[in-house]
Structure 1
Amino acid sequence: MGGRMLRVGGYTPFSTGEFPGLLSAVVFVQGCPWRCGYCHNPHLQPRDSGAIAWPEILARLAHRAGMLDAVVFCGGEPTIDPALGDAIEQVRALGFKVGLETACIYPDRLRQVLPLLDWVGFDVKTVFDDYPSVTGVSGSGQPVRASVAAIVASGVDYECRTTVHPRLLQPAVLLELAQTLAAMGVEHYVLQEFRATGCDSATLRAGARAGYPGPDLLAQIAPLFRRFSVRRPGVGAR
């Protein structure tokens, strides 16, 4: 173990939905280089000294060993933190399974921690060449492509998901993205309908459309994947 400390921006002591099928605690890591318009955790984008000391989180988790099954690291972007691997090993030493939620920004760091993980939830926002239109960062799609390939090859259980908004992902683009992911070997895919609640972008809130994507487009996408579902606000997966 090194002397580095994870920069924690928030902590949820109990969740029934973050790690599929398990009771988990959730650790929110500070920092993200992207500025996606629909981000629901913009307060976690800056990297500062951390809102909660990592040793304090470890102490809380130690007291809950045997009552919880897992710990999930999310953000922000957890792989931005060089202390992530140490933190995962410390959590595993307490007897917890470990999950990671990532936007696939840092493929090299992701590869380092993949052998330590039991589950990965990862976002793919659009076709790789169009990523700057969502993230505001040039070339941001290429690390995502490399990260997706690494996750699929790792054998770690995962969920790949895309937030769908008609302004950002028109039907032809969404279908192209689904076909690309299927060709890369992705088997578990979830579409998440855009939620206006908590979104700072007035443009995206105004352009949202309930029920997008519709049944015809879903009928083209669903057969591409072994496991496919859609999450609607207030409804969940179906």
Structure 2
Amino acid sequence: MGARLLKVGGVTPFTATDYPGQLAAVVFVQGCPWRCGYCHNPHLQARPPVSALHWPTVLDKLRRRTGLIDGVVFSGGEPTMDPALAGAIADVRALGFKVGLHTACIYPKHLTALLPMLDWVGFDIKAPFDRYERITGVADSGAQARACAEAIIASGVDYECRTTIHPTLLRESEVLELANTLADMGVDNYALQIFRPQGCNDGALNAIATAGYPSGDALAHIAARFGRFTLRRHD
């Protein structure tokens, strides 16, 4: 076992939505250096000295899911910040599971090294790359995100690129700009996720309605740019 130090904050034993087309378990890795206002897992942002869950115990629970699920998704937080992630992926693969990853595209070198071990990646692109700090609170975060996106597209690994949008954070014109940029980069599978207040601690975002955002014309333009396009709206 090569991942005894993986810092796990929680486990979802069964999901049909976190790995498209697959039944999966989700392992939530602790720690994220970004502070996005719409984050729904703020309790996983801190990286504590001791893991909330012991990896061998988690792995034993996953072993008992063999035959019941198809894969395991590592989510977060930002899982690629954990130096034990590669070992954890190897442990899961040894059980015969497919492996998915949710990433905010923060660590290009770490992600590039992991891509050959993955079957699917769900990656977040949060804003036009030159305006990333508005979302993450971290300078130059857009350059990291672009490098990660380019690595995923070039890798040939199956993926979904997605953007969570809110009218306070991204104007409709910026949503269109970002979609065009991603299409020009070669993204083929894109999802827009309209902000939902459930689980978000930002009262200012929660107070703004998202009905009618973005407009039907904008959505039609975006859909036409991608081979696969998904809109997720919760209002």
CA distance, structure 2, for counterparts of residue 143 and residue 151 of structure 1: 13
Matches within 5 A, 1:141-180: 141-180=142-181
CA distance, structure 1, for counterparts of residue 25 and residue 31 of structure 2: 19
Is the 2:3–2:88 contact (alpha carbons within 8 Å) kept by the matching residues of 1?
no
Partner of 2:193: 192
1:32 partnered with 2:65: no
Is the 1:164–1:212 contact (alpha carbons within 8 Å) kept by the matching residues of 2?
no
1:204 partnered with 2:200: no
More displaced stretch, 26-35 vs 167-176: 167-176
CA distance, structure 2, for counterparts of residue 70 and residue 154 of structure 1: 20
Is the 1:25–1:68 contact (alpha carbons within 8 Å) kept by the matching residues of 2?
yes
Partner of 1:41: 41
Matches within 5 A, 1:218-233: 218-233=219-234
SS at match of 1:25: strand
Q: Using the TM superposition, give the Cα deviation of residue 3 of structure 1 relative to its aligned residue in structure 2, in angstroms.
A: 6.2
RMSD: 1.1
SS at match of 2:161: strand
Equivalent pairs, count: 234
Is the 1:10–1:28 contact (alpha carbons within 8 Å) kept by the matching residues of 2?
yes
SS at match of 2:159: strand
* Letter matched to residue 63 of structure 1: R
CA distance, structure 2, for counterparts of residue 144 and residue 213 of structure 1: 23
CA distance, structure 2, for counterparts of residue 25 and residue 69 of structure 1: 8
CA distance, structure 1, for counterparts of residue 213 and residue 84 of structure 2: 39
SS at match of 1:12: strand
Partner of 2:20: 20
Partner of 1:50: 51
Q: Using the TM superposition, give the Cα deviation of residue 210 of structure 1 relative to its aligned residue in structure 2, in angstroms.
A: 1.8
Extract unaligned runs of 5+ from structure 1.
none
Extract unaligned runs of 5+ from structure 2.
none
Task: Assess, with a 3 A threshold, how the Cα gap between structure 1 residues 33 and 179 changes in structure 2: closer, same or farther.
Answer: same
Is the 1:175–1:221 contact (alpha carbons within 8 Å) kept by the matching residues of 2?
yes
1:123 partnered with 2:142: no
More displaced stretch, 81-90 vs 211-220: 211-220
* Letter matched to residue 20 of structure 1: P
SS at match of 1:207: coil
CA distance, structure 2, for counterparts of residue 110 and residue 162 of structure 1: 19
Is the 1:194–1:208 contact (alpha carbons within 8 Å) kept by the matching residues of 2?
no
Identity %: 62
Task: Assess, with a 3 A threshold, how the Cα gap between structure 1 residues 59 and 2 changes in structure 2: closer, same or farther.
Answer: closer
Q: Using the TM superposition, give the Cα deviation of residue 208 of structure 1 relative to its aligned residue in structure 2, in angstroms.
A: 3.2
Q: Deviations over 1:58-105 (max 9, x none)?
A: 111111112211000000000010000000011000000000000000
More displaced stretch, 89-98 vs 215-224: 215-224
Q: Using the TM superposition, give the Cα deviation of residue 4 of structure 1 relative to its aligned residue in structure 2, in angstroms.
A: 5.0
* Letter matched to residue 41 of structure 1: N
Task: Assess, with a 3 A threshold, how the Cα gap between structure 1 residues 113 and 193 changes in structure 2: closer, same or farther.
Answer: same
Q: Using the TM superposition, give the Cα deviation of residue 220 of structure 1 relative to its aligned residue in structure 2, in angstroms.
A: 1.4
